[in-house]
Amino acid sequence: MPTSRITNPENVEIEIQSVDGVTIVVLTGELDTNKSRAVQANVLPLVAARGKMIIDLSRVSYMSSAGLRFLLSLYRHTSNQDGVLILVGLADEIRETMEVTGFLDFFTACATMQDAMEKVGAVAE
């Protein structure tokens, strides 16, 4: 799948690509209540049975509780499909919030895209 970019009305950019059978979603912007809904509407349909997905959050500067709910919903959809979900590039503040709330326990988080690709058994280009 070629790279596609979606800039939704909420001004969140969503870049989607497939590399070695892994769906990579790069989010850019702030994930507040309205923006999280728009991102969820575009990302949840990408979950496939036994699929592998990496969400790159390195360009996300802020995440509200709605953003955390989106991630949890994505985790549940992926788990129900026997898939793999990895988060990449969590900002320190977002990582800390996820640790304190217990959300981080649900996810595999990697510092770099290379680490995430290795974790899912793919090789980054």
Percentage above 90 pLDDT, the chain: 78
- Unique residue bearing structure tokens 């596609």: 4
Given a contact cutoff of 8 angstroms between Cβ atoms, the answer to whether 21 and 122 are in contact is: yes
Fold of 4-117: Transcription Regulator spoIIAA (3.30.750)
Q: Cα separation of 118 and 125, whole Å?
A: 11
Q: Is the pLDDT of residue 2 over 60?
A: no
Residue type for 61, please? S
Query: Does 1 or 14 have the greater pLDDT score?
Result: 14
Residue 109, token pair as written in the block: 């988080």
Q: Is the pLDDT of residue 124 over 70?
A: no
What's the pTM value of the predicted model, to 2 decimals?
0.88
How, if at all, do strands 22-31 and 13-19 pair? antiparallel
Q: How confident is the model at residue 105 (pLDDT cuts 50, 70, 90)?
A: very high
The structural domains of the chain, with segments of one domain joined by +, span 4-117
User: What is the CB-side half-sphere exposure of residue 34 using CA atoms within 13 A?
Assistant: 5
pLDDT tens digits for 17-71?
A: 999 999 999 999 999 998 999 899 999 999 999 999 999 999 999 999 999 999 9
Q: Cα separation of 46 and 30, whole Å?
A: 21
